[in-house]
Amino acid sequence: MFDLIIRNGTLVTSAGRQKLDIAVKDGRIAALGEGNAQAAARVVDAAGLYLLPGLMDTHVHFRDPGLTQKEDFATGSRAALYGGMTYVVDMPNVKPVTSTAERLRARTERARREASLEIGFFALLTADNLEEMDALKQAGAVGFKIYLGTSVGEIAAPPDGVMLEQFRRAARLGMRIGFHAENNAINDYYTALEQAAGCTDPGALIRARPDFSEEEAVCKAIAYARETGAAIHIYHVSSGKTVDRIREAKAEGIDVTAETCPHYLFLDQADYKRLGVLLKVYPTVKTQWDKEKLWAGLADGTIDMIATDHAPHLPQEKQGGLWEAMAGVAGVEISARLMLDAVNRGRLTLEQLAAWMSENPARIWGLKERGTVKSGQPANLTAVDLSRRGVIHNARLHGKTNVTAFDGVETIGAPVFSVTGGKLFEIPLK
């Protein structure tokens, strides 16, 4: 007898659609096909629903340990589950930073105890942990991360010589390096100019951290990858110019992948007037031209995936002056709803959503038992209803602090249940 059978759903992958039943036993997909007559402990009728390979968010900040007043493994994973996610990858800028194998193992064990779904981890590369890279891989790091520009935590980039050797080491290990790509010197110089001039309008934030800051940092990472053969990934792409540089590098044969985030796809410079410092994120939300270039980059494969950069802060930290407010917004619970709403508006297809939020992240980060729906694989699925209507209310979300940039936004389309490691989780729409 099976543990679970999902009947009458339509499986959607990047290759197309197929109506079928999915049987689950012992946490794995046991059978695929229409009309399975065997018994199961539980049967779910998915008629009218679309079944996607388990959605994942490979860029979250669950703030655990050290900043758990904002989020922790329990609350962050709960929000992810309610958002239809089946897996997330957490960032290393916690306290202490995840730069040693010992710290990585400690975080992994803590997450296993406290989280509602599986969490992977990126390991931080710093000026002094070159010799730790092998051990970090052995400890289970999904990939490495370098902050070329400072963000929460004020983490400095490694010196250029050390970083070049880190690229060589990563290439030897077969590990991808991800980049927060901004140029600190450019940001610091123009931020000082804006502050000295007394500028506090939201446009000052874009002028203080211009698109060239991201473009220059991306070009640097690409140059190091060209020299060493290392595989690289650009987190949270926000600039149309960056899209062009990544496209050129891919055409050259450099192994560079990229992601962007819902706030860059659905918001632009005009929204600062309405949202103010709530929209303060690094890199900055830019112009409508940049937004459309990001959509074009997704469509032609220059940008490979959607992630949220889920970066929760206390409500009071997202208030006050332009220069004092913290950068970052929550997003892991609402990203699928925003993207499904965009499916209904014709901006993308469900097949593209399956690629951008499941298949491509799994392939790029080497998650070999994720991103597919096959017999024998772990049962990770997200069921969505394209007709499900709702309004995003920050106060009704399930993280510890739920300051998003989309409070009050109506969406059509939402996850209705997920299967994570064979476990069914039903998602009510509040």
| β-bridge mates for residue 42, sequence order | 4
Report d(CA 236, CA 147) in Å as an integer: 12
The pLDDT value recorded for residue 95 is: 97
The pLDDT value recorded for residue 35 is: 65
Which H or E element spans position 410? strand 410-420
Query: 370: which DSSP letter?
Result: S
The pLDDT value recorded for residue 154 is: 74
Structure tokens at 238: 């926000």
Is residue 416 within 8 A of residue 406, CB to CB? The reply is no
The residue behind tokens 């306290």 is 95
The residue behind tokens 């949202």 is 275
The pLDDT value recorded for residue 150 is: 73
The pLDDT value recorded for residue 38 is: 81
Burial label, 244 (beta-carbon count in 10 A; 0-12, 13-18, 19+): middle
The pLDDT value recorded for residue 37 is: 66
Residue 15 CB partners (closer than 8 Å, separation 6+): 351
Catalogue all structural domains in the chain, each as residue range(s) with its CATH number: 2-51+376-388+411-426 (2.30.40.10), 55-364 (3.20.20.140)
pTM for the structure as a whole: 0.97
Is residue 298 within 8 A of residue 348, CB to CB? The reply is yes
The stretches in the chain having pLDDT less than 50 are none
- Other Cβ atoms less than 10 A from the Cβ of 364: the count is 21
| Strands, E assignment, 138-295 | 143-147, 177-180, 232-234, 256-260
